[in-house]
Structure 1
Amino acid sequence: MTPASAAGLPVMLLPGFATHPARMYRMRRGLRAAGHWVEDWGLGWNLGGTPEQLDRLCARIEEAAARQGRPVALVGWSLGGLYAREAAKRVPHAVAMVVTMGTPFSGDLHANNAWRAYHWITGHDVAEPPVPGDYAVKPPVPTIALWSARDGIVAPRAARGRAGERDAAVAVRCTHLGFASHPRAVETVADQLSRFAGG
């Protein structure tokens, strides 16, 4: 792939729980149209967090940053946003910013309607993840939390977070699944990336 333009950013998309990167193709297409260099996380289906998966992601982020000659913006949907936040804590030198979309990083990890499915697929409770850490702690890079009152799966307060857990919270009128492809979501992410790129 060619490097990002001067006005754009290198961006990595992280899919939500039990989804494949292909589910975010409209987001990818929209961000590329806005002038950003975009790739997916390269790890296939997101079937839950493991230490090995996080290690592989951090390596992928560092490789992408090295290719581009500058840090990468991480855009994570739902569980993908938790991955993005934790990866940014481990390799902040390779991460420009983090944008989460409907990500339950704040408060009770059971504050969503998918925790039973998560438990069934992964074999562990959301409150006892194999990757330990305080997910509410803000990464040491600019961190924007997109949330929706219409989410329907993740509680808005969990995705919005509290002051100090993110730098800004931005409301989007879409469903949880819509974060990956709804025009409002794509437009909002593109706007946040452009604001950052513009300094």
Structure 2
Amino acid sequence: MPPVPARGHHLLAATGLRTRARHRAEVGTLGHPSGPPATATALGELGSPLSGVRLVGALPRLARAPRGDGHLVVDIPGWKAPELSGAPLRGYLRRMGYDARGWGFGTNTGDPRRDVERLARSVLELVDEKGAPASLVGWSLGGVIAREVARRHPDAVRRVITYGTPVTGGPRHTTVARAYRRGPDPDARRVAERLEPTAPVPIPLTVIFSRRDGIVAWQACLDHTSPDVEHVEVSSTHIGMGIDPDVWAVVADRLAVSPAPSA
């Protein structure tokens, strides 16, 4: 994991020279979601472009991340986000040595049942072509889709990394649902909520969350059931996560971990 910034180095962290990411070994005491993020937190999303400033300052440490082994990484956008939203991260991962690709379906329109089916088919074809499992990286609703593909096809998925992804409660704990009285398919949410405690994702998971997330309640992102899950807290808005250097550093660090040998 990237090192935790020492006390007194907040200025360096603010400029991106140091990380704000913190590994959270125990999340059971962090609480459970009670609804969407507070209005003040949601308004903080207006500062999302500032993540780009930190990204510039973080370029030297991002360049020092572990080199990739060339394996396939599929990036899945969040709800209503175009595939282009993940282009900066994919570009970085390619430079680090990964075969990083978009999911191939354009804007995520919010139909996870359909998207799980078609992404699963695509991933299986790509994995067969590459001859090795893929890693899935999902932002917000994209992470929900990534988790479900991994749940259904664990032999085809090496690792899942999500950021700003609601694991519990679905749209009930999002600002978007409160504002528009609608969100991604509620039937798919109910199915996922039944599966989480009874059929947890069986492969390594990295969950990235932020208390500054003004779109998804951060407590809803915590995974209390999967057997091989780690949580990393960053200090980013929800929209800013796509260009947050700490998110990028964690993604690169975890993708570089070799898969456990088959029993």
TM range (shorter): 0.7 to 0.9
**Displacement, 1:29?**
1.1
Tell me the amino acid that sits aligned with residue 196 of structure 2: A
- For structure 1, the residue ranges without an aligned partner over 5 or more in a row are none
TM superposition shift of 1:59: 0.4
Alpha-carbon offset, residue 121 of structure 1? 6.0
TM-score (norm 1): 0.85
In 1, the alpha carbon distance for the partners of 2:101 and 2:170 equals: 31
Contact 1:111–1:155 (CA under 8 A) maintained in structure 2: yes
Match of 1:55 among 117, 131, 136: 117
Shift of the 6–162 alpha-carbon distance from structure 1 to 2, 3 Å rule, reads: closer
* CA–CA distance in structure 2, aligned partners of residues 23 and 8 of structure 1: 22
Aligned to 1:68, which of 130, 133, 145?
130
- For 1:136, the equivalent position in structure 2 comes to 196
Residue 39 of structure 1 is matched in structure 2 by: 101
SS at match of 2:135: strand
User: Are the structure 2 counterparts of residues 182 and 89 from structure 1 closer, same or farther at C-alpha, using a change threshold of 3 Å?
Assistant: same
Kept in 2, the 8 Å contact 1:178–1:185? The answer is no
Change (3 A) 1:196 1:106: farther
State the superposition RMSD in angstroms.
2.5
Which sections of structure 2, spanning at least 5 residues, go unmatched? 1-66
Residue 84 of structure 2 is aligned with which of 22, 26, 29? 22
The aligned length equals: 192
Give the letter aligned to residue 132 of structure 1.
Answer: V
- Larger Rg over CA atoms: 2
* Residues 117/55 of structure 1: CA separation in 2 closer, same or farther (3 Å cut): farther
SS at match of 1:195: coil
Taking the TM superposition and a 5 Å limit, the aligned residue runs for 1:1-199 are 7-107=69-169, 109-116=171-178, 119-120=181-182, 126=186, 128-129=187-188, 132-134=191-193, 136-137=196-197, 138-162=200-224, 164=226, 167-196=229-258
Q: Quick check: 155-164 or 78-87, which moved more?
A: 155-164
Q: Could you tell me whether the CA contact under 8 Å between 2:68 and 2:98 is conserved in 1?
A: no
Q: Is the helix fraction higher in 1 or 2?
A: 2
Question: 1:50–1:131: 8 Å Cα contact kept in structure 2?
Answer: no
For 1:117 and 1:94, how far apart are their aligned partners in 2?
Answer: 37
Which region of structure 1 is more displaced relative to structure 2, 7-16 or 73-82? 7-16
Query: CA, structure 1 residues 8+160, in 2 after alignment: closer, same or farther (shift >3 Å)?
Result: farther
Q: TM-score, normalised by structure 2?
A: 0.66
Cα gap change, 1:46/1:193 in structure 2, threshold over 3 Å: closer, same or farther? same
Tell me if structure 1 keeps the 8 A contact 2:162–2:206.
Answer: yes
Following the alignment from structure 1 to structure 2, what is the Cα–Cα distance between the partners of residues 26 and 41? 14
Would you say the 8 A contact 2:196–2:225 is kept in 1? no
Question: After the TM superposition, which of the residue ranges 188-197 and 64-73 deviates more from structure 2?
Answer: 188-197
Q: Determine which structure has greater relative contact order: mean sequence separation of CA pairs < 8 Å that are 6+ residues apart, divided by chain length.
A: 2
User: Secondary structure of 2:173's partner?
Assistant: coil
CA distance in 2 between counterparts of 1:57 and 1:105 reads 19
Q: Distance in 1 between matches of 2:228 and 2:181?
A: 27
Deviation, structure 1 residue 6? 7.1
